[in-house]
Structure 1
Amino acid sequence: MFGECHAHLFMNGTDYRQAVRDHKNSVNISKVREELTAYQTNGITFVRDGGDKYGVSELARELAPEYDIEYRTPIFAIHRKGHYGGIVGKAAETLKEYADLVAEVKCRKGDFIKIMVSGIMEYEEFGRLSEPGLEEEWIREMIHIAHEEGMAVMVHGNGRDAVLAAVEAGADSIEHGNYIDTECLDAMAESDCVWVPTIVTTGALLGCGRYPEQVLEQIYEKECENLAYGYGKGVNIAAGSDAGAYLVPHGDGILWERKILVETLTNLGYNEAGVKERIWLGESQIREHFCKK
Structure 2
Amino acid sequence: MSLVNEVSILYNAEILDISSGVYAEGDLRIDDGVITEIGKNLPRPARASVIDARGRYLIPGLIDCHVHLNAESADLGSNARTSPTLQAAHASQAMSSMLSRGFTTVRDVGGADYGLAEAQRRGLFVGPRVKFGGPALSQTGGHGDFRGPGDDAEPICRHGIGRVVDGVDGVRAAVRDEVRKGADHIKIMASGGAASPTDRVDSTQFSEEEIRAAVEEATAANRYVTAHAYTARAVNRCLNYGVRGIEHGNFIDEESIRLFNSTEAFLVPTLVTYWALQREGRENGQSTESARKVDVILEAGLGALERATMGGVNIVYGSDLLGRMQRHQNKEFEIRAEVQSPLEILTSATSTAARLIEEEERVGRLEVGMVADLIMLDEDPLEKISVLANPHDHINLVMQAGTVVKN
TM-score interval, smaller chain: 0.7 to 0.9
Pairing of 1:178-193 with structure 2 (within 5 A): 178-193=250-265
In the alignment, what sits opposite 2:358? 288
Please, what TM-score do these two structures have when normalized by structure 1?
0.81
Q: Is the 8 A contact 1:198 1:241 kept in 2?
A: yes
**Residue 148 (structure 1) shift:** 2.6
Question: Of 16, 30, 33, which residue of structure 1 is paired with 2:92?
Answer: 33
| Contact 1:143–1:170, Cα closer than 8 Å, also in 2 | yes
Secondary structure, aligned partner of 2:330: helix
1:248 aligns with 2:325: yes
Corresponding position of 1:12 = 72
Structure 2: runs of 5+ lacking an equivalent = 1-60, 147-160, 283-287, 361-407
Structure 1 residue 20: Cα displacement: 4.2
Q: How does 1:16-165 map to 2 (within 5 A)?
A: 16=76, 19-23=79-83, 26-52=85-111, 56-65=112-121, 66=123, 67=126, 69-86=128-145, 88-121=161-194, 129=201, 131-165=203-237
In structure 1, what is the equivalent of residue 315 of structure 2?
Answer: 237
Task: Find out whether 1:2 has 2:80 as its counterpart.
Answer: no
Q: SS at 1:71's partner residue?
A: strand
Contact 1:201 1:242 in 2 (8 A): yes
| Structure ranking higher in helix proportion | 1
| CA distance 1:265–1:150, shift in 2 (3 Å) | same
Letter of the structure 2 residue corresponding to residue 233 of structure 1: G
CA positional deviation for 1:216:
5.7
Residue 329 of structure 2 aligns to a residue whose secondary structure is helix
Shift in Å, 1:248:
3.1
> How many residues align structurally?
275
Q: 1:148 to 1:259 in 2, by over 3 A?
A: same
Q: Which amino acid aligns with 2:229?
A: G
* Partners of 2:167 and 2:210 within 8 A in 1: no
Deviations 1:155-177 (A, max 9, x none): 11122222101112221110011
* Percentage of pairs with the same residue: 24
Alignment partners' CA distance in 2, 1:89 and 1:75: 8
Distance 1:207 1:76, change over 3 A: closer
Counterparts of 2:165 and 2:186, CA distance in 1: 14
Q: Check the 8 A contact 2:70/2:87 in 1, yes or no.
A: no
CA distance in 1, matches of 2:347, 2:74: 32
Q: Residues 227 and 28 of structure 1: is their aligned pair in 2 closer, same or farther, counting only changes over 3 Å?
A: closer
Cα distance in structure 1, aligned partners of 2:183 and 2:134: 6
CA distance in structure 1 between the partners assigned to 2:119 and 2:195 by the alignment? 35
Residues in 1 aligned to 2:178 and 2:292: alpha-carbon distance in whole angstroms: 41
Counterparts of 1:17 and 1:206 in 2: how far apart (Å)? 19
Equivalent residue of 1:48, what SS? strand
Change (3 A) 1:145 1:35: same
Equivalence for 2:275: 203
* 2:249 aligned with 1:171: no
Q: Deviations over 1:37-77 (max 9, x none)?
A: 1112212110100122xxx5433212223225211111221
> CA separation in 1, counterparts of 2:232 and 2:92?
38
Partner of 1:277: 347
Other structure's SS at 1:174 match: strand
**Bigger CA drift: 13-22 or 93-102?**
13-22
Distance in 2, matches of 1:18 and 1:235, equals 36
